[in-house]
Amino acid sequence: MNEAKFDITVPSVEVNESATLEKNAPSDSDVPDAKLLDALDEPQQMRRVVREAILLAGGAVAILLQVADPGVAQGVDNHSNFDYRPMDRLRTTMTYVYCMVFGTREEKKAVISMVHRAHAPVKGEDYSADDPELQLWVASTLYAVGTDIHQRVFGQLSTTTADEIYREYAVLAVSLRVPPEMWPPSRKAFWEYWDSKIETLEITDHARSVAKDLLFNKKLPLYIRATMPLVRLSTIEMLPPRIRAGYGLKSTKTRRRMFGFSLSLTKATYPALPKVLRTYPMRYYMKDMRRRLNDMA
pLDDT digits (tens, 9 = 90+) for 97-136: 999 999 998 998 899 888 878 777 677 777 777 789 999 9
Does residue 202 surpass a pLDDT of 80?
Answer: yes
Residues contacting 287, CB < 8 A, separation 6+ = none
- The answer to whether residue 6 sits within a structural domain is no
Secondary-structure percent of the chain, ordered helix, strand, coil, rounded to 5: 70, 0, 30
Q: Residue 95 falls within a domain, yes or no?
A: yes
Nearest to 174 by CA among 7, 5, 293: 7
pLDDT at 25 over 70: no
Q: What is the pLDDT of residue 288?
A: 93
| Contact call for residues 243 and 201 (beta carbons, < 8 A) | yes
Q: Residue 134 domain-assigned? A: yes
Q: Which amino acid would we find at residue 192?
A: E
Total residues belonging to the chain: 297
Contact criterion met (CB below 8 Å) for 278 and 85: no
pLDDT of residue 177: 84
pLDDT at position 21? 25
Q: How far apart are the first and last CA of the chain?
A: 44
- Quick one: which H or E segment has residue 277? helix 275-278
pLDDT value at residue 28: 43
Average pLDDT on 186-207 reads 96
Per-residue pLDDT, averaged over 39-66, amounts to 88
Mean pLDDT of 71-78: 82
- For CA atoms 275, 279, 284, 287, the dihedral sign is negative
| pLDDT on residue 102 | 93
Q: Is 253 exposed, middle or buried (0-12, 13-18, 19+ CB in 10 A)?
A: exposed
Encode pLDDT of 209-250 as tens digits.
889 988 998 878 888 889 999 999 999 999 999 999 999 999
Domain of residue 92 covers 28-296
Residue 232 φ/ψ, nearest 5 degrees: -65, -40
Examine the pLDDT at 16 and tell me if it is beyond 60.
Answer: no
Q: What is the mean pLDDT of the chain?
A: 83
Q: Is the residue at 231 inside a domain? A: yes
Q: Is residue 2 part of a domain?
A: no
Query: Please, which pLDDT band fits residue 88 given cuts at 50, 70 and 90?
Result: confident
pLDDT at 116: 78
Bridge partners, 128 (sequence order): 123
Q: Please, which residues bridge with residue 123 across strands?
A: 128
Q: What pLDDT, on a 0 to 100 scale, did the predictor assign at position 3?
A: 33
Q: Is the pLDDT of residue 196 over 50?
A: yes
**CB 166 within 8 Å of CB 144:** no
Q: Is residue 97 part of a domain?
A: yes
What integer pLDDT is reported at residue 83 of this predicted model?
61
Q: Which tens digit of pLDDT belongs to each residue from 251-292?
A: 999 999 999 999 999 999 999 999 999 999 999 999 999 999
Which comes out higher in pLDDT, residue 129 or 293?
293
> Does some domain include residue 265?
yes
Please report, for the chain, how many H helices and E strands are present, in that order.
Answer: 16, 2
**Mean pLDDT, rounded, for 174-191:** 92
Domain total for the chain? 1
Over range 193-220, report the average pLDDT. 92
DSSP string, 231-247: HHHHHHHHS-HHHHHHT
In whole angstroms, what is the distance from residue 30 CA to residue 264 CA? 45
pTM over 0.75: yes
